[in-house]
Amino acid sequence: MFNLDGKVAIVTGAAQGMGESHARKLIGQGAKVVLTDLNEEKGSQVAKELGDNALFIKHDVTDEDGWKKVVSETLAKWGKIDVLVNNAGITVTKSIDDTTEADYLKVFQINQLSVFLGMKYVSPEMIKNKQGSIINISSINGLVGAKIGYTDTKFAVRGMTKAAALELAQYNIRVNSIHPGAIATPMVMQEDTRAAVEQFAKMIPLGRLAEPEEVSGMVVYLASDESRYSTGSEFVVDGGITAQ
């Protein structure tokens, strides 16, 4: 597997689900990881389980001051930032008619604004070191349509990734997006979406949902130097659903 010894990574939304899986996999390959989340209880417990190479910071990804704090505390702890995984996100299942302005803004702020803020406040530290990897977690709904709000933001993450990749390439900073399909996470398998997800799984060519670890393998690859010539690209992990 890919060697991440000496690398320092930030993973947002890391208290559970894919974010937790990414953090575990990165540390397993030798990285030091800052886990951020609003869920302090779960996030602290995960960091404790992961040991000395993990640090948990309570963090609202939509807040600029929160990002400044995460960057500052990461530098105080480990002196640099090599990898940013913008993983935090929420889903929405409402129709256009039922989606309120407040609903829409919440999805925008968590799924899209947070990615911009992460890149804005982490990239200057990567520029100083003339290297880095930013990994933005989008979705297959950044490639094909689904519900209003969620689809919009995931398409935006795809575009932001390409724009940032072009701007930051001169500093040897790579920016890529990952587009997971249906992943068996607590968010996806919550009560109001479980039935739809299980029905969707029947349409997947590989015949099942993915486990979070199967996306984390792609995160590790993009965090490693083995992916040093990949930037501005989409990496799809969907069991073949978008190939149909």
DSSP assignment letter at 4: -
Q: Which residue has the tokens 């990414």?
A: 22
Helix (H) or strand (E) holding 135: strand 132-137
Catalytic residues: 150
Dihedral sign (CA 163, 165, 171, 173): positive
Burial grade of 210 (CB within 10 A; 0-12, 13-18, 19 or more): buried
Longest dimension (CA), the chain: 50
Helix (H) or strand (E) holding 177: strand 173-180
Burial grade of 202 (CB within 10 A; 0-12, 13-18, 19 or more): exposed
CB 170 within 8 A of CB 189: no
Neighbours of 193 (CB within 10 A): 16
The full DSSP string for 186-214 is TTTTSTTTHHHHHHHHTTSTTSSPBPHHH
